[in-house]
Copies of this chain bind each other. A is one copy, B any other.
Amino acid sequence: MPKKYVDIETLKYILYDIHKLKNSLARERFQDHDMESLNLFLDSVKEFSDRELYPYFKEMDTTPAYHKDGTVLVHKQVEKVMQQSGEMGIIAACFNYDIGGLQLPFIILQAALYIMESANNNLPGYAGLTGGSAELIVEFGTKELIDTFVPNMLSGKWAGTMCLTEPQAGSSLSDIVTKATPTNQGFYKISGQKIFISGGDHQYSENFVHLVLARIEGAPKGTKGISLFVVPKNRPKSDGTLEYNDVMTVADFQKMGQRGYCTTHLGFGDSDDCRGWLVGEEHAGLKQMFLMMNGARIAVGRGAAAISMAAFRASLQYANERPQGRKLTSTGKKNPSEKQSLIIVHPDVRRMLLLQKAISEGSLCLVLLASKYHDFETTATSKEEKEKYHLLLEMIIPIVKTYPSEAGAESVDNGLQVLGGYGFCTDFVLQQYYRDIRIFAVYEGTTGIQSQDLLGRKVTMQNGKGLELLSAEILKTIAAASNDIDLKTYATILGDKLKLSQKVLGHLLPIAKKGNYERFLADANLFMEYMSIVVLGWLWLEMAVDAKNALKNGDKKYSETFYESKIHTMKFYFKYEVPKTNALSESLMNNEEVTIKKDKEYIL
């Protein structure tokens, strides 16, 4: 296995210097934490990941989770990591003190899970989903529900899951049919099937607390008739013992990647004895679920960013160790008497490595930006501030979910290519990252869904206020970079691309106004790609501004090479990635309709 799976220095740089963790810590909620203690916390997570996660990464792929006799058998490390995630406060990190939480900033939890996911992306999901579902109960559930379920979840004793997808509905949640029948005993009877349930069952948790979307009998059709329920695998009785709650593990899904992270098919109420407890209001389930969905989507972006980082480190190590070929001489030939070069000297290999660096570190910066907005929103001291960060977060969420997943897959693909034939062989780890990362463009809303969210909802929300706020943030960086003689050029380019995005919207929005929504959203994926490049260009420019300042002011926490490499990667991004906006804007403003279904069927 490669020596290094994560670049902790860059993580801390982005966390402390770029996103200025200190500012978050000034918030009242976080007053008990200081930079030093959080730094130690991250170091302990790294040490834990070195010891309990990374060494099992390959093994969890070659001996995948599997369904047997009504349960799913997973790798023994699941037990260890769930337990330790409880003990170390990873599950409880962001909860309030009063229910046993640590009131850590959300951004710190994301950094911690990022480290763990770089080490082994099969494991943190078990803990992460448990925290996410506990959060839903805490946010919307009654005190009784909270007391019954949450403490055992935060300690890692019980696991939690989110049950949205059904076989006949897929991404179309309005077609959910899982049924909730009211009783007069305070619970509902649940019946239905849920698929693609991550961490839905295994031998190491005595209970699973499922957060289930279902339809109360007689509820309105569509998404407005969906309610949220807590449906445990085993229901706690008043004496503290557990009783089977008719939640059956029907099957599992064997997957191309993330093979150690089990994916299950659950059946509820096969024997008409499955009880569910309503969380929050009737028919408000989807809205409630979506309040938590931002967290889930940050988590997806974070996981993908972590995998692309780990793959980058692995291919970088290979490139630094593998001799092959020679540098070209000025006659265009090579001299076979010379010693072979390490492949890291070849420009094409460097291009692939720099692309990985730009994508993986850029994705990390993006994920932590969203986390910062999340902290600022939840701890805002004024309505205006809350609104501002709420809108900023809403605006970038689809990009945070999508860019690390899509570009991350491209990044890993380049990492594999650096190794040539070895990259394709199971003896090397690149092919595992290649398979693992592929699911992230599907998780929690596919790229298509995210793109429609970005263009169809986020751009237009509150008359474009979110986009306005985001543009203002970008313009701040452009202004700062314009003051630097070396960065001015890049600032100008980014400004132009931002303006061009407005032109693109000026072309698209009238189409929606005319009522042709299908056409308006037809190329939403391309718009997603466009905006992602602008946002990533912005973050890289921001990093370059900071690095430049550090070099100028002599206030260097990191090496000169470290700062130079950030500036260099920004230049790479502007040379190779930013120009893609030209192609995208041309396609987006092309009026020919070739993907809208017409009367004639052309695809054969």
Contacts and interface: CB of A to CB of B under 8 A. Distances in A.
B582 A586 contact: yes
B255 A330 contact: no
6 contacts: A255-B425, A256-B426, A344-B597, A348-B451, A564-B602, A579-B586
Interface in A552-604: 561-562, 564-565, 568-569, 571-572, 575-576, 579-584, 586-587, 590, 592, 594-597, 600-604
A580 B529 CA distance: 13
**Chain A interface helix/strand/loop/mixed:** helix
Interface string A159-186: 0000001001111101100000000000
B426 A442 contact: no
B602 A561 contact: yes
B424 A602 contact: no
A564 B603 contact: no
A536 to B, nearest CB: 15
A106 interface: no
Contacts of A604: 7, 9-10, 561-562, 565
Nearest to A7: B604
A417 interface: yes
Contacts of A44: none
A367 to B, nearest CB: 20
A345 interface: yes
A222 interface: yes
Contacts of A575: 587, 590, 592, 594
A170 B448 contact: no
Given A587-B575, A592-B571, A174 B603 contact: no
A515 interface: yes
A580 B446 CA distance: 24
A279 interface: no
B596 A347 contact: yes
A324 interface: yes
A518 B435 CA distance: 33
Contact of A221 (B172, B336, B446, B447): B336
Interface stretch (A34-42, A299-307, A349-357, A379-387): A349-357
A31 interface: no
A524 to B, nearest CB: 7
Interface string A516-534: 1111111111100000000
A23 interface: no
B518 A328 contact: yes
A603 B354 contact: yes
Contact of A597 (B350, B438, B576): B350
Nearest to A220: B336
A295 interface: no
- Contact residue range for chain A? 35 or more
A89 interface: no
A129 interface: no
A171 B425 CA distance: 16
A10 B575 CA distance: 39
A174 B336 contact: yes
A431 interface: yes
A579 B587 contact: yes
A172 B349 CA distance: 14
A102 interface: no
Contacts of A240: none
Given A350-B596, A351-B595, A579-B584, 15 more contacts: A170-B322, A175-B340, A196-B421, A328-B518, A330-B516, A332-B456, A332-B517, A354-B594, A413-B438, A417-B447, A564-B600, A572-B595, A579-B590, A581-B583, A582-B582
A257 interface: yes
Contact of A425 (B168, B253, B582): B253
Nearest to A350: B595
Given A423-B442, A587-B575, A330 B517 contact: yes
Contacts of A522: 347-348, 351
List the 6 shortest-distance A-B pairs measured between CB atoms, nearest first.
Answer: A222-B336, A330-B515, A347-B522, A256-B431, A579-B586, A332-B517
A169 B601 CA distance: 52
Nearest to A416: B438
Contacts of A9: 604
Contacts of A576: 526, 587, 594
A512 B171 contact: no
Interface string A480-507: 0000000000000000000000000000
A417 B435 contact: no
Contact of A354 (B334, B409, B441, B595): B595
A421 B438 contact: no
A271 interface: no
A582 B588 CA distance: 14
Given A348-B451, A348-B595, A417-B447, A517 B565 contact: no
Interface string A128-170: 0000000000000000000000000000000000000100111
